[in-house]
Structures are given as structure tokens and as C-alpha cells.
Amino acid sequence: MNLQKMLINGEWVHAQSEETRDIINPYNQEVIATAVEGNEQDTRAAIQAAREAFDDGIWSALPANERGEYVYQIGLLIRRDLQELAELETWDTGKTLQESKEDMDDIANVFLYFGGLADKDGGDKIPSPMPDSESKVVREPVGVCGQITPWNYPLLQASWKIAPALAAGNTIIMKPSEITPLTTVKVFELIEEAGIPEGVANLVLGAGATAGAELSENRDIDLISFTGGIETGKTIMQAASHNVKKIALELGGKNPNIVFADADFTTAVDQALNAVFFHAGQVCSAGARLLVEESIHDEFVNALTERTKRIKLGNGFDDDTQSGPLISSEHRDKVEKYVDIGKQEGATLVTGGKRPDDPELQDGFFYLPTIFTNCTSDMRIVQEEVFGPVLTVETFQSQEDAIKLANDTIYGLAGAVWTQDVAKAEFVAERLRLGTVWINDFHPYFAQAPWGGYKQSGIGRELGREGMEEYTEVKHIYRNK
Ligand code: NAD
């Protein structure tokens, strides 16, 4: 796999920058590839290609069903190469191969969904209040879109941006996380194979402060779509304000998982575990705040702790591994710092709170699944996104209490309610200030349903019809007969 070149204007070209970066397998710190680090100049070349391709109309003026066919074809190619893509993702992120395969299946579906959606919005005729006139409202592509993705779900996050942007008729420049570019590079090879015209889909590899910053600042970019940390999101928002670019931001979360005493106990324990420790907690929608009804607190925490101690950490390629390592040594330092903060704040450490002793795990960035009880809303460990395998537990006595606690953060991405009382579940779900609420489940998402955050978890939506609308401008055409 060639990580020395970037796809600009339909050609794999060497960067003007001579910088490179080693891509590390977080399971054993082996160098798995060396990637070029494109700079501002490289990014500008990609922007120019995308600008010209958009202005020429080679893509935006194609009939929508033809664009859709190309996007659909990318989905089929991803399905064809699913195993290879999944293996690359596991090398790059340390997540289990099973998780990577599920991701790839979802990613293929994202392309199939948006490919199918491309020609479904024909615009609306609206009743004009003026005599002898006709009014219609149509959607058009926004233009040139810069897209920046994080390392935790490298290709999944990229697919949520690439597929709707192309289906809606935009041209794009994608910049994946510099830590995890492997699968995104591979998909750009598939985009080329699918025959997307030159200059429509461009790929830049590089760091956030250089390539990423150029995308957010450059005046030839009409929309910047970013998924990542909240502080980076604010920087991008500021840069984008200089020329009033449209922005779409998918930022962090500190997601509540609310368990009522009448929940199905075993499933709720199972899923509370999955909610927070899946992919070592490096999930924007991780259920990192468990809110459990006081009457079942001890029994629930005991069952959860016992299960947590049995989570098998290891190599993502081994069948019995349930959780892989954290992405990097710096990220593990951050998680450790938060665990120290939790202890200093007076939360009770019930399990974990350190690196594993297992000699086989010493070369990877592993950290034990960790649970804190006796947590309160004013603690930093409860309020701030750790983005690692750390669960905080709080208790509540009434549904009003639960709603208040759940909403008491700056974030509003996702969360869950566990109860067998449907009316109670709906009552609580309607009052949570979250972009997604699951009832008696955790984590399901799919291409058909919109995804995004309330409050400081972001701006705009990905997936679903709403995810496609982000990539369109609305035009009103009025005709005097
Ligand atoms: P990050 O913010 O450090 O980096 C994300 C991307 O931004 C990378 O490609 C990086 O190169 C780029 N970047 C960094 N500085 C930049 C700058 N100044 N200008 C432009 N681009 C810049 O995030 P991360 O550590 O890669 O990912 C973890 C974060 O992503 C977590 O906070 C997580 O919650 C969030 N996330 C959110 C969602 C969601 O759907 N809401 C999904 C996945 C991850």
C-alpha cells in the first residue's frame, strides 16, 4: 500500500512536503507503514483541483441517478474488499478484527444508502401567494467540501462524509487523521476504480495544524466538515468564520446510560459493559456515565465489576480478544491523568485504574477497564470526555432526578434508557437533550438514521436524509407567469 502519495486531480502524486510519519500498530508499537505528511501547499493543490472540478460541473451537473450509481459502486467495491479493509483497520487502530469487519459492513451500507438517495429529492413546488406565479424550492450542492476525520473510527467517519457529499454533487478534499490513514487511502483507490471523474474526490495526508488548518481557512472551501475533539472543533470554527464557510461539527460526548430498577437486569449489565468498554472506550458515544436507580445500585455494580474483570484484552487479530489497546502512548497518559483526577476528587475506584500486569501486553498501549463509584456531577471525571475505558457511576431516585443528572453536562451526543415501562422510557427519552436516545439498547446506529449532537457535541447531522441535506444549499426559484 502506497502511503507516499496522495490522490490529487485524479493522480497519485508525491507531496511537495518531504516530511513523513511512521504509522504505529498500537498493539505492539511496530511500524506498519510510513506515510507522507502533506503540507499547506499540497492541500492548496488539492483544493484547486476540487474547485476546478466543481466549477466545470463535471460532477454537479451529472444527472443525480448517475452520481448515485458511482457512489453505490464504491459501496460494492468496499464489500468486495471487506476482509482486506478490516485487517488494515485492525493493524492501524488495535480494535478487534470482528469490530473492524462490522465497521466495514456498515461503511459499505453507507455508500449504498447515499448512492440510492442521490436522486430521491426532486425539490418541492410551493404555493405562491403572488398571482400568476410559480414557486419551487430545490436543493443544490454546496460546492467544495473539506473533510477532516479522527482516529477512532477512521474509515467509518470518513464514509459518513464522503458518501453524502459526493451523492449530493459536491467535490471533496478528505484529510484523515495522520495517525490512522490506511483504510482511507485504500478507499480512495476504490473511488478511483469506481471511475469518479478526476478532481472530484481528492485525498491529502498530513497533520491537523498544517493540512487541516489550510482546509479550514482556505477561501475556496465552501463547507468544512469535521469530526474530532471539542477544542479542535472550536479552532476550526474560528478559522471557518473568516470567510463564513458552512460548518458541520461532530465533537465529543459524555453519554449517560440510565438504568431503572425495573430494567431487564442481565441485558442492562451486558450492555452497560458494552456501552463503555467497546473499543476501549474510544467511542464518541461511549456510555461513560452510568446512572443507576439507587435501589439496585449495589447489585448492579457488583455484577458489572465481576464482568469487567473478565474482559480479555489482547491482539485484535486473536479470536478471544474482547478489547484492544488505546491508540497511543499520549492517549494512555491522558486516560491515566483522568483516573488520578477521579481519585483526587474522592470517587471510589472499584476496579482497574492501572495498566495490565500481563507480560504479553507490555508492548501495547493497554489500560484496564476501570470503574469509579460514588461519583457526583461536579467532578471532572464525570463532566469531561476521557475517551478511554473509564466508567463513572452515579445514583438517582426518581425519573426527574435521572433526567436532570443526564442533562447536566456541556455535551449532548447520545445516551440510553433501560426500563420495561414503555411510557417511562418515552417520557425520559423525550426530555434528554441528546441527538440519539436508545431505549433498552446501546450503540445501534445505521445509515438511515441521523447522527449528531445537541449542545457542545456538535453542529449539524450526518447520516440519514439530514446528513445529505448538510451538503446542499436550498434555492427558491420564483417565476412570474
Ligand atoms: P482531534 O481533534 O485531535 O483530531 C481530529 C482531526 O482533526 C485529525 O484529522 C487532526 O489531524 C485534525 N486537526 C487537528 N488539529 C487541527 C486544526 N488545528 N485544524 C484542522 N484540523 C485539525 O481528535 P481525535 O483525537 O483524532 O479524535 C477523538 C475525538 O473525536 C473525541 O473527542 C471524540 O469524541 C471525537 N469523535 C466524535 C464523533 C462524533 O460522531 N461526534 C465520532 C468520532 C470521534
pLDDT, tens only, 228-267: 999 999 999 999 999 999 999 999 999 999 999 999 999 9
Q: Is the ipTM of this complex over 0.90?
A: yes
Question: Residue 430: exposed, middle, or buried by beta-carbon count in 10 A (0-12, 13-18, 19+)?
Answer: exposed
Which of helix, strand or coil describes residue 348?
A: strand
| Ligand 1, atom 19: closest residue by C-alpha | 213
- Looking at the DSSP assignment, which residues form a beta bridge with residue 329? none
| Ligand 1, atom 22: closest residue by C-alpha | 208
- How far is the CA of 262 from the CAs of 282, 290, 424, 440, in angstroms? 30, 16, 11, 11
CA 56, CA 464: separation in Å to the nearest integer? 29
pTM greater than 0.90: yes
Q: How far is the CA of 233 from the centre of ligand 1 (A)?
A: 7
Q: How far is the CA of 234 from the centre of ligand 1 (A)?
A: 11
Ligand 1 closest atom vs CA 250: 41
Parallel/antiparallel/unpaired status of strands 144-148 and 171-175: parallel
Q: How confident is the model at residue 54 (pLDDT cuts 50, 70, 90)?
A: very high
- How far is the CA of 177 from the CAs of 236, 340, 365, in angstroms? 15, 28, 18
39, 15 contact by CB (below 8 A): yes
Question: Running DSSP on this structure, what letter comes out for residue 131?
Answer: T
Q: How far is the CA of 458 from the centre of ligand 1 (A)?
A: 12
Mean pLDDT of the chain: 97
Report whether residue 282 contacts ligand 1, using a CB cutoff of 6 Å: no
Residue where the block lists cell 493497554: 366
Q: How confident is the model at residue 1 (pLDDT cuts 50, 70, 90)?
A: low
Q: How far is the CA of 237 from the centre of ligand 1 (A)?
A: 13
Handedness of CA 444, 445, 450, 455 (dihedral sign): positive
Ligand 1 closest atom vs CA 175: 9
371, 36 contact by CB (below 8 A): no
Catalytic residue numbers?
A: 250
Parallel/antiparallel/unpaired status of strands 390-396 and 370-373: parallel
Report whether residue 339 contacts ligand 1, using a CB cutoff of 6 Å: no
pLDDT score, position 135: 97
Report whether residue 459 contacts ligand 1, using a CB cutoff of 6 Å: no
pLDDT score, position 48: 98
Report whether residue 209 contacts ligand 1, using a CB cutoff of 6 Å: yes
- Looking at the DSSP assignment, which residues form a beta bridge with residue 290? 257, 393
pLDDT score, position 310: 98
CA 85, CA 97: separation in Å to the nearest integer? 10
Report whether residue 216 contacts ligand 1, using a CB cutoff of 6 Å: yes
| Ligand 1, atom 23: closest residue by C-alpha | 228
Amino acid (1-letter code) at residue 251: L
Report whether residue 456 contacts ligand 1, using a CB cutoff of 6 Å: no
* pLDDT tens sequence across 167-217: 999 999 999 999 999 999 999 999 999 999 999 999 999 999 999 999 999
Q: How confident is the model at residue 122 (pLDDT cuts 50, 70, 90)?
A: confident
First to last CA, the chain: 59
Ligand 1 closest atom vs CA 252: 34
Percent of the chain with pLDDT over 90: 98
- Is the pLDDT at 294 greater than 80? The verdict is yes
Q: What residues have CB less than 8 Å from 25, skipping those under 6 apart?
A: 31, 32, 91, 92, 94
Report whether residue 25 contacts ligand 1, using a CB cutoff of 6 Å: no
Q: What residues have CB less than 8 Å from 238, skipping those under 6 apart?
A: none
